[in-house]
Amino acid sequence: MKVDMIQEFSRFAIYYLPSESNLLSNFASSWFGWNPHLGMEVSYPVWKNLNFNIAELTSEPGKYGLHGTLKPPFPLAKQENFEELRVAILKLSRSIKKFKIPSITLRVIDGFIAIVPTIRNERIDYLAEKCVKELDDFRGPESLENIKKRRSVGLSERQENHLRRWGYPYVLDDFNFHLTMTEKLRPEVSERVFLVLASKLESVLMAPLLVDKIFLCGESVENGKFKVIEKFSLID
């Protein structure tokens, strides 16, 4: 990628995304009004049984689209490191075998509705750990604004240590893989939205989640939304 194209993005991240043709991916593009694979806006669905503004329900996660964080967003340490970052991600991807998360479910976590593994999955934890540690040389210093934002919710001592060392509090021992579906909602709103999403996603939640690729994504300077820059296949 040329330097002028790199300047299109303020931060980079390594995410898990379902494949572009996946039913969950198609559903989520409409739900969030954003397709990260294509980097384009999508019309929100119109459901008679949901009397809430979907754009408001998904305002913050809608900037990312459906994703599972493996290495949280980071500014690039040096602009010229981009090609080296790509090579490092490729090397990492070629060290991990494809796998499935056999069972997923919808859950409310601290007021957010998210899709999560039914039981903790060691393989996705390991993949995230490798992304956090092995790609960290490419991470530039986090802005004071983002650091203050992280601390504003109240961090444990270990999370504070993660923030100082890795630029993000919820990594390694504090990592919990999830696909965020909503903002933090009031209980009465969350209950209704949860029921609707559970119904709409019933068939999706019955299938395993295939982890066969990782994605380098960038935060657009133009609109603040994340989109796929490149995908890297895990090995068979």
Residue 145 has a pLDDT of 86
Question: Per-residue pLDDT tens for 186-224?
Answer: 999 999 999 999 999 999 999 999 999 999 999 999 999
Burial (Cβ within 10 Å: 0-12, 13-18, ≥19) of residue 6: middle
Confidence of residue 5 (pLDDT cuts 50, 70, 90): low
Residue 146 has a pLDDT of 84
Residue 152 has a pLDDT of 86
Q: Please, what's the largest Cα pairwise distance for the chain?
A: 50
pLDDT at 127 over 80: yes
- Give me the mean pLDDT over the 20-41 stretch: 95
Confidence of residue 4 (pLDDT cuts 50, 70, 90): low
Question: Per-residue pLDDT tens for 160-192?
Answer: 999 999 999 999 999 999 999 999 999 999 999
Of 18-22, 41-45, 66-70, 126-130, the poorest mean pLDDT is in: 18-22
Task: Name the pTM for this structure.
Answer: 0.93
Owner of token pair 């967003």: 73
CA distance 62 to 217: 14
Residue 80 has a pLDDT of 67
Confidence of residue 154 (pLDDT cuts 50, 70, 90): confident
- The rounded mean pLDDT for the chain is 93
Share of the chain above pLDDT 70, in %: 97
Length of the chain: 236
- Give me the mean pLDDT over the 47-53 stretch: 90
